[in-house]
Amino acid sequence: MPDRVPAGPPGTPAADWGERFGYSRAVRAGSQIEVAGTTAPGESAFEQARAALAKIEAALNELGASLDDVVRTRMFVLDVEANGPDVLRAHGEVFADIKPASAMYGVTGMLTPEMLVEIEATAVVG
């Protein structure tokens, strides 16, 4: 049975969504960890990306991994022309020495209008 990190802390909207719609923040099956699309509040795409990456790091840590184990990231960005550089800057600050395979996708919408970026990660431990 895979290990799982709940979508959010008990009593939070993220936890409620995870229970209601059947998903986890992260799942570890053997040596592989998949971290679901992760968003975070912030005034700018940079702040949102940094906070989302911190949530990803916390989920990895909870499953016995670290950012060093990340082999792939996917960044979904609203208005990639305007927000892409800030998201890339945040990604670069976190992954400068790790250099996972990465992709950025421009999207036309998110769940709420204030969301500018959502990030997924794949890690392999060992």
pLDDT per residue as tens digits for the range 53-102? 999 999 999 999 999 999 999 999 999 999 999 999 999 999 999 999 99
Q: For residue 15, is pLDDT > 80?
A: no
Distance CA 91, CA 49 (A): 7
Q: How confident is the model at residue 23 (pLDDT cuts 50, 70, 90)?
A: confident
Q: For residue 1, is pLDDT > 70?
A: no
Distance CA 32, CA 112 (A): 30
Q: What is the pLDDT of residue 73?
A: 98
Distance CA 83, CA 77 (A): 7
Q: What's 74's DSSP letter?
A: E
Rg (CA), the chain: 14
Amino acid residing at 73: T
Q: What is the pLDDT of residues 31-64, one digit of tens each?
A: 999 999 999 999 999 999 999 999 999 999 999 9
